[in-house]
Amino acid sequence: MASSQPSKKPSKTTAGGGGTSSSGQSVKFARRTSSGRYVNLSKDDVDTPGDSSGDYMNYTVHIPNELPEASVATKAEEQYVSHSLFSGGFNSVTRAHLMDKVIDSKVTHPQMAGSKGSSCAMPACDGKVVKDERGADIIPCECRFKICRDCFLDAQKDTGLCPGCKEPYKTDADDDVPSAALSLPGPDGKRTSLVKRNQNGELDHNKSLFNDSSGTYGVGNAYWPSDGGGGGGKGGGSGGFEDPADKPWRPLTRRLPMPPGIINPYRLLIVVRLIVLCFFLTWRVTHPNDDAMWLWFMSIICEIWFAFSWILDQIPKLCPVNRSTNLQLLRDKFETSDKKINPSGRSDLPGVDFFVSTADPEKEPPLVTANTILSILAVEYPVEKLACYISDDGGALLNFEALAEACSFANLWVPFCRKHDIEPRNPDSYFSLKGDPTKNKKRADFIKDRRRMKREYDEFKVKINNLPDSIRRRSDAFNAREEIKTLKTIRERGIDPTEPIKIKRATWMADETHWPGTWANPSRDHAKGDHAGIVQVMLKPPSPDPLYGSGEEGLIDYSDVDIRLPMLVYMSREKRSGYDHNKKAGAMNALVRSSAVLSNGPFILNLDCDHYIYNCMAVREGISFMMDRGGEDICYIQFPQRFEGIDPSDRYANHNTVFFDGNMRALDGVQGPFYVGTGCMFRRFALYGFDPPKPDLLTSKKKDDDAAQSPTETQALKATDFDPDLDVNELPRRFGNSTLLSNSIPIAEFQGRPIADHPAVKYGRPPGVLRNAREPLDATTVAEAVSVISCWYEDKTEWGDRVGWIYGSVTEDVVTGYRMHNRGWRSIYCLTKRDAFRGSAPINLTDRLHQVLRWATGSVEIFFSRNNAFLASKRLKWLQRLAYINVGVYPFTSLFLIVYCFLPALSLLSGHFIVKNVNATFLIYLLLMTLCLIGLAVLEIRWSEVSLEDWWRNEQFWLISGTSAHFAAVIQGLLKVLAGIEISFTLTAKAVEDSDDIYAELYLVKWTSLMIPPIVIAMINVLAMVVAFSRTIYSITPQWGKFVGGAFFSFWVLAHLYPFFKGLMGRKKKTPTIVFVWSGLIAITLSLLWVAINPNSGPTDANTGGSSFKFP
């Protein structure tokens, strides 16, 4: 198989650029063009100084003669890739920069970029010997002559002899030969490669999609032996698997219905309240208030809308469910070691790619991101099946080096977690836990190991926090050196030294070279919106089998612990001026493409940089649903969001438990929960815009074609089976011009299928096909990953429109999930006993309002777009459709809510009520609806397991956000849609508070225009109650009924606004000055209004029986 071998030493070729060395090896030089293709280079082109000189090198393709030589070359290539930083993009050459030093501190883990081997024994060579998985030197010859990668390749090309013993290269064993592409058992018992290459070494799409013999893709549907039975067993045909009847089949997950004693009364109350609501609205419409038609009309319009909004919110809650998983059964089914079936003990679980996104290290501290990465690297899942990708949308060197430091610390932290079953596996959260750390710990050396790890983590935090100053000092020193060199050159050339010197103030990496991303002093090609694409394999893919550590002196004893680390990749997509990069959605799509080229895990789990893994078994919980019977049509698994650092009273409903434990759990019983941006496991194939598989349709086709097929022939799956509208020739139009990306799609689809271990699994894969090791990375593959993250790649494709994360909304998460549900996919809500993930949330009132404003603005955009659920297809279930309609409609409730909050005040000031007479009929309707509402709340609290306090906080913040952020979002959306005007609501700078208080941010008062409507509503209602009370006291015939009715609703409004005004007061005993200003304005307004309503009339009028009142 051809492999791409970048070399930093000149290679001997003919003048034509492609020739034959003395050993018979053909050598080809190539360079990537702006279109993403490789073109041949001549010897003169290679030797010409330019962009390819210095620290950058060209790609050289070497075709080894013998298999043992290919093994050494492959390991050398893999190490070269992990030590190189690849950069490139639009109209530029993709460069592989070999980094001898990634960070200033020492690198110890052999998988990490920058780890060094022994020195090469060749004269005048400063290269390092290739290392194996343990960090030991790889010696290609029996004479143990140490040689680096480039010298070994040169020796291969020149003579093929070892420079030490002058004998042809030999190896002790062939065990180091990496396995080829994923092979699958066919009907005849032979293994066929799923990934096939053409003669040029490139992936052949046709060969990867179909088998050579029968034109079938992979093994088609669930493979059954030739007898057509339910399994091969001992008497079945070759290539089959054991009879499922040998072991009782059990599902990996179970759907647990709600207790009938709770859910049946809950549904009955919904029906009863709906009927009462209809009768009440009918009565209200047919009994207007002739004395105040304007007041009656406004109230009835608002009440009709509230009824519609309640239906949209309540009806989808008819079918809540609970779910459970069997993790032990998952382990038994996919990871059981067997002498015959699985002698190596490797896992048959599918791969999972983690996505972590960050953009600005100033707003998202690198230490927080590093802790999230560490929790991912330590997750409880087969190491060789994991890959973690971090998207740095700002291209900051600070994030790059912080990630490298995290890799170095992971060398100790990850084995420590595995050895002692640490939970949580975020070091900052773990060492902040209160309580006895030795609880449930069985090893005697735990205390000693924990103390050492705590010291190491403290040092790690110091390194991360010092990185900004370290990078600045380093850059200043190297820039000063460059200035001195420039001045020296000017003097030597005799140029006038008085002329100003123009030297770019670059940001320098640890190996004394320029950082290709964003510089601290922005310049062309090095600014936040203008920099090259960057890919760095921080941790190369681990070996397929466990690698146990050792108990060296001074270190933690890891002799019985697997010390491998998952693959880790740093990625910063290319950004150029004039391109719409589509914010977070564009970054996520770049991650999808680059990961498809590098690891192609069939499942993707995305996390925000401040959300870490709190439950190390969470990935297994999610995979259980995907791998269970019927899991082939699940597009994603959504986990609930849990937050830390929230004030104990949860003043602003930051936990949002009513939504996550109520609404989302209810939707799980329909078509699935919404996608809410983080903590979600995707099926990669669903992200590509395909429809869910139709096993029944495919099975019927197979039965119809049985007469024409041989008994051992499997069902053919063509591209049109995935998407009837898709033509193979149109793949570039949908996915771009990357052949590697297109070829990875059917592989991801196949690997993401459940195991066909039961006759009811109609769309599965044979067991054991995912136990083979993945192919090692080569330079060509990583260069392709750089190409697919370029700014031009998405041009004239369907990325962001049908494929990947959807563009056009600030809430791209909801739109992306809606598109999948609209195509017929379903989702699952995975509510684990121990929280799966935890993150941070804004606890300040202003920050919380702006967060809600962004969500509501996205909902308004959805309402005015083609993603409105009113336009959904028939594949979207009607209860799910109501839920998505509510997503786009709920901000508009603010218009009616604000009016309704003013109605009590208007009623009190005018002396009229929303009804002509507060009679028994009105009170009975009001009582019935209130009782139904209370009953629904109690029952919903029972089945959703939400506390009463959380429910009440949610109700309070619903009114606060509805009268502020939602109203602003509607105005913003209408102006944008109708007039094309975009406005923003800014906030003032933070005030300085005590840093010792963890809730100091809660008491900050940051003024924003979003606060105006709630303040006005509260002031008017307080004023109205005072005026109405005074008027009622001094009236001849006091109408206390109208006053009590209006005052009750005013008090209802003020009670909901209580947390809002508590936030305005700031810290206790620290009342802001603005509160006194408001108090004075209210007092003056009250005085003036009272004078206008009841002016001075002199002494008491005995005839009227009233009295006058005079302000002092």
Three-state SS at 533: strand
Query: Residues 367, 460: contact at Cβ < 8 Å?
Result: no
For residue 933, what are the contacts with CB-CB under 8 A and spacing of at least 6?
273
Helix ranges, 117-243 (H): 149-158, 205-209
Q: What is the rounded CA–CA span in Å between residue 870 and residue 882?
A: 9
Beta-ladder partners of 755: 765
Annotated active-site residue in 150, 154, 392, 393: 393
Question: Tokens 């304007």 identify what position?
Answer: 294
Question: Measuring CA to CA, how many Å separate 19 from each of 23, 61, 161, 657?
Answer: 11, 12, 20, 68
1077 is written with which tokens? 């200003």
Q: What is the rounded CA–CA span in Å between residue 277 and residue 128?
A: 79
Q: What is the rounded CA–CA span in Å between residue 379 and residue 332?
A: 19
Q: What is the rounded CA–CA span in Å between residue 325 and residue 323?
A: 7
280 is written with which tokens? 């009440």
Question: For 488-518, b where at least 16 C-beta lie within 10 A, e where not — what string?
Answer: eeeeeeeeeeeeeeeeeebbbbbeebbbbbb
| Of 24, 151, 614, nearest in space to 378 by CA | 614
| Of 517, 535, 531, 516, nearest in space to 781 by CA | 535
Phi-psi domain of 136 (left: phi exceeds 0; alpha: psi -120 through 50; beta: other) = beta
Around Cβ 234, how many Cβ atoms within 10 Å? 7
Annotated active-site residue in 449, 721, 813, 847: 813
Helix ranges, 705-803 (H): 719-722, 731-735, 739-751, 779-787
Question: Tokens 């009670």 identify what position?
Answer: 1055
Around Cβ 280, how many Cβ atoms within 10 Å? 20
Around Cβ 708, how many Cβ atoms within 10 Å? 7
Query: Residues 534, 86: contact at Cβ < 8 Å?
Result: yes
Q: What is the CA radius of gyration of the chain?
A: 34
Query: Residues 821, 671: contact at Cβ < 8 Å?
Result: yes
939 is written with which tokens? 């029952």
Question: For 567-587, b where at least 16 C-beta lie within 10 A, e where not — what string?
Answer: bbbbbbbbbbeebebbebbbb
E strand or H helix at 1012, and its extent? helix 1012-1034
Three-state SS at 446: helix
Burial class (CB in 10 A: 0-12, 13-18, 19+), 7: buried
Around Cβ 483, how many Cβ atoms within 10 Å? 13
Q: What is the rounded CA–CA span in Å between residue 527 and residue 508?
A: 14
Query: Residues 128, 118: contact at Cβ < 8 Å?
Result: yes
DSSP code per residue over 834-868: S-SEEEE---SHHHHHHHHHHHHHHHHHHHTSTT-
**137 φ, ψ to 5°?**
-65, 140
Q: What is the rounded CA–CA span in Å between residue 505 and residue 483?
A: 10
For residue 1007, what are the contacts with CB-CB under 8 A and spacing of at least 6?
846, 987, 988, 1074
Task: Determine whether 813 is an active site residue.
Answer: yes
For residue 1051, what are the contacts with CB-CB under 8 A and spacing of at least 6?
1025
Beta-ladder partners of 994: none
First to last CA, the chain: 99
Beta-ladder partners of 567: 387
Give the catalytic positions in this structure. Answer: 393, 813
